[in-house]
């Protein structure tokens, strides 16, 4: 991102310009810096989670797994209430983590619970109109970069037992932070600092200029180039995805017996392996003292977590490789299944996530 | 409209994979030392490749499942267009034709908020959104007289505020097979993204100049709609996915 806060597109370039024995012009370095700024600005993991609470019950807590990317200061949260729900209008949504309470950081002083845009649906009955949605911003500057947290979204349903049907959490592109007055001193490139005729191999990573600075920012781009596939529900057993089957069976269908199939665009990055390295995370519990297993099927190939016995909701993680054959925009399918391997009980799944693990 | 990707050359034309500069190259970053051209080429290629592969995953949602027949004979597709349909001439025509419109009724569609990068270059003006690939896993009851899917991209999900230009892309499937199916389609926005599209978003860029170089992601709503006509109870939506793609629709 340049000093004016506007992210510019990647530009066309030609590697021939970097000929052996020829000096590299400031123009070409500036172009690379622009590309790095672009990546820093837009290349966040963006969609962190889509959370669901379609079933009706009492108070909710949804835990969203989040690892803060470099430079990211705010998350955009959108809540869609159940029809007839007054939770957003009258209640409070609180967000906590192991780092403490996370404050709402809406553009104006936050009024409980949300201070985002409220749609006007006056002319539409609720039976046929879209549900209204609320947006608000979370200040996550108190979270350490690179550390994985559980963000606990909690609210109380209203008297009719209605709460929030869908919660979407997005990591905002960096320039979004500018307009809500978050510090940007630790991110960005000042392309104007790269002058023709001046040395560019000097300076440090703490100043917004210089080749070393650009390489440091490029490293941030690589670590920040994450994608996350995450589906959450509350940790009430009645809400969680579940099975008591002795053989692998559907886990993550909201109501049906049909195992949902999702699709995913595999990325290709490294020469050492054609596969995309990911982290697979399950947040689960098992009742009845039973032992359970969970598996993810990627194009039908299973990666399993076995011997799961925790009686309380806890997360287990596992390395996962998404196969890449080398084809551009290769797509894979994903399914989630579970089973009881010994004893009699039920395995409950409140969260499944697949997150990039690049370095 | 012709579109192109504004990305640099990559050293490995086949895959453009990352190649790490040699460890010793870091010593070249000291004062007064020239940069090795090979290292700069590698850096340039890596950055270009990162730009190319920076497509994000946008939607990973369970379906709603069959809930008391709420998907059957959805009224949204047949009611007065300006009450329940997109207020847009092109789409109104689709709704009126009775085959591909997308209603606002939450029983027959879901919308998801996502930031989408606007870096597909148009020859005619400012850049537009990346292509978005939609995929839906559905089960259609065998007795349905009509089964179809719709995808759409809009700048917000409030029909009362939808204006020309807020409606960015739409695809209607036409008649689809019943049974458990996956239907996938890539949507390509043909409208240049202008400052007005950012107006409603509090996090928009503080200033906007040189529109032909702006690459700020736009918050948009990605819509999945379905139309199951029949009295059977076997209709359900199992899963929904969407992601940025470098593939342009055919």
Name, of A8-17, A180-189, A332-341, B141-150, the range with top average pLDDT: A332-341
Task: Determine the pLDDT at residue A251.
Answer: 85
Question: Is the Cβ of B91 closer than 8 Å to some Cβ of chain A?
Answer: no
Residue numbers in A near B162 (CB within 8 A): none
Percent of chain B predicted with pLDDT > 90: 8
- Position A313 scores a pLDDT of 95
Find the CB nearest B64 among A41, A255, A264: A255
Report CB contact under 8 Å: A176, B29: no
DSSP A14-74: -GGGS-TTSPPPHHHHHHHHHHHHHHHHH-S--EEEEEE--S--S-EEEEEEEEPPTT--E
Q: State the ipTM, two decimals.
A: 0.82
B62 touches chain A (CB under 8 A): yes
pLDDT tens-digit series, residues B135-173: 999 888 888 887 888 888 887 766 555 555 667 777 778
- In the numeric block, the tokens 């453009």 are attached to B16
pLDDT of residue A335: 93
Closest CA to B219 of A287, A42, A153, A84: A42
Confidence band of A280 (pLDDT split at 50, 70, 90): very high
Q: How many CB pairs under 8 A join A and B?
A: 320
Task: Of A173-187, A261-275, B5-19, B62-76, give the range with the top mean pLDDT.
Answer: A261-275
Amino acid B208: pLDDT: 41
Residues A208, B115: Cα–Cα separation, whole Å? 27
pLDDT (tens digit, 9 = 90+) per residue, B181-211? 999 999 887 776 666 665 555 444 444 443 3
Q: In this complex, which of B115, B156, B243 lies closest to A173 when CB atoms are compared?
A: B115
A232 close contact with B: CB closer than 8 A: no
Predicted local confidence at residue B125, as pLDDT: 65
> For residue A137, what pLDDT is reported?
76
| pLDDT tens digit sequence for B227-237 | 777 777 778 88
A42 or A192, which is more confident = A42
* CB contact at 8 A, A220 and A38: no
pLDDT band at A71 (very low <50, low <70, confident <90, very high): low
Gap between the Cα atoms of A300 and A6, Å rounded: 43
- Tell me what the pLDDT averaged over chain A comes to: 71
The torsion angles phi and psi of A141, rounded to 5 degrees, stand at: -65, -15
Beta bridge partners of B203: none
Q: What is the predicted pLDDT for the residue at A355?
A: 86
pTM > 0.90 = no
B38 SS3 class:
helix
Mean pLDDT calculated for residue range A237-261: 83
Q: Rounded distance, CA A119 to CA A134, Å?
A: 8
- A181, two tokens: 């007055």
Is A295's pLDDT higher than 70? yes
Burial class (CB in 10 A: 0-12, 13-18, 19+), A199: middle
How would residue A184 be classed by pLDDT, with cut points 50, 70 and 90?
A: very low
Residue A104 or residue B195, greater confidence: A104
CA distances from A125 to A83, A87, B84, B137 (A): 11, 19, 10, 29
- For tokens 């609320």, the residue is A134
């Amino acid at each position: 991102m340049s000093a004016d806060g506007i992210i510019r597109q990647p530009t066309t370039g030609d590697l021939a310009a970097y000929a052996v024995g020829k000096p590299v012009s400031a123009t070409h370095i500036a172009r690379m810096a622009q590309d790095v700024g672009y990546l820093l600005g837009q290349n966040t993991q963006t969609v962190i989670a889509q959370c669901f609470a379609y079933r009706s019950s009492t108070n909710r807590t949804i835990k969203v797994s989040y690892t803060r990317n470099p430079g990211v200061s705010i998350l955009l949260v959108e809540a869609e209430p159940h029809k007839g729900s007054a939770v957003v209008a009258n209640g409070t949504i609180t967000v906590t983590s192991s780092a403490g309470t996370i404050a709402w950081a809406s553009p104006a002083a936050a009024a409980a619970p949300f201070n985002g845009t409220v749609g006007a649906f006056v002319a539409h009955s609720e039976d046929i109109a879209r549900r209204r949605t609320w947006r608000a911003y979370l200040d996550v500057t108190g979270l350490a970069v690179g550390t994985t947290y559980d963000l606990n979204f909690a609210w109380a349903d209203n008297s009719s037992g209605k709460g929030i049907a869908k919660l979407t959490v997005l990591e905002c592109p960096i320039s979004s932070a500018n307009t809500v007055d978050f510090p940007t001193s630790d991110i960005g490139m000042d392309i104007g600092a790269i002058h023709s005729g001046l040395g560019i191999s000097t300076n440090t990573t703490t100043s917004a200029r210089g080749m070393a600075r650009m390489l440091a920012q490029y490293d941030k781009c690589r670590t920040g180039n994450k994608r996350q596939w995450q589906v959450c529900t509350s940790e009430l057993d009645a809400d969680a995805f579940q099975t008591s089957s002795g053989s692998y069976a559907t886990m993550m269908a909201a109501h049906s017996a049909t195992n949902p199939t999702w699709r995913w665009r595999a990325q290709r990055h490294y020469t050492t392996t054609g596969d995309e390295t990911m982290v697979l995370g399950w947040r689960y519990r098992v009742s009845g003292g039973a032992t359970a297993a969970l598996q993810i099927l990627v194009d039908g190939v299973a990666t399993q977590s076995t011997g799961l016995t925790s009686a309380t909701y806890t997360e287990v993680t596992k390395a996962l490789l998404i196969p890449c054959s080398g084809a551009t925009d290769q797509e894979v399918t994903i399914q989630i299944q579970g089973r009881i391997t010994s004893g009699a009980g039920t395995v409950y799944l409140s969260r499944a996530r697949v997150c990039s693990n690049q370095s | 409209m012709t579109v192109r990707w504004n990305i640099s050359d990559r050293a490995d034309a086949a895959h453009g994979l990352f190649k790490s500069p040699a460890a010793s190259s870091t010593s070249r970053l000291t004062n007064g030392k020239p940069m090795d051209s090979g290292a700069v080429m590698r850096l340039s290629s890596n950055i270009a490749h990162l730009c190319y592969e920076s497509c994000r995953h946008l939607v990973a949602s369970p379906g709603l499942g069959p809930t008391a027949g709420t998907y059957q004979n959805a009224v949204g597709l047949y009611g007065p267009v300006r009450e329940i349909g997109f207020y847009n001439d092109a789409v109104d025509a689709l709704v009126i034709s009775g085959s591909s419109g997308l209603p606002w009724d939450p029983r027959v569609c879901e919308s998801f908020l996502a930031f989408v990068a606007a870096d597909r270059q148009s020859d005619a003006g400012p850049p537009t959104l990346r292509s978005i690939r939609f995929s839906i896993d559905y089960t259609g009851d065998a007795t349905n007289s009509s089964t179809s899917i719709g995808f759409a991209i809009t700048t917000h999900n409030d029909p009362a505020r939808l204006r020309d230009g807020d409606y960015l892309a739409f695809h209607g499937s036409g008649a689809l097979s019943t049974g458990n199916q996956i239907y996938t389609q890539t949507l390509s926005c043909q409208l240049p993204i202008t400052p007005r599209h950012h107006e409603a978003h509090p996090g928009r860029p503080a200033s906007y100049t040189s529109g032909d170089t702006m690459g700020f992601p736009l918050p948009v709503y990605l819509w999945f709609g379905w139309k199951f006509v029949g009295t059977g109870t076997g209709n359900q939506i199992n899963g929904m996915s969407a992601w940025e793609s470098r593939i342009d629709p055919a």
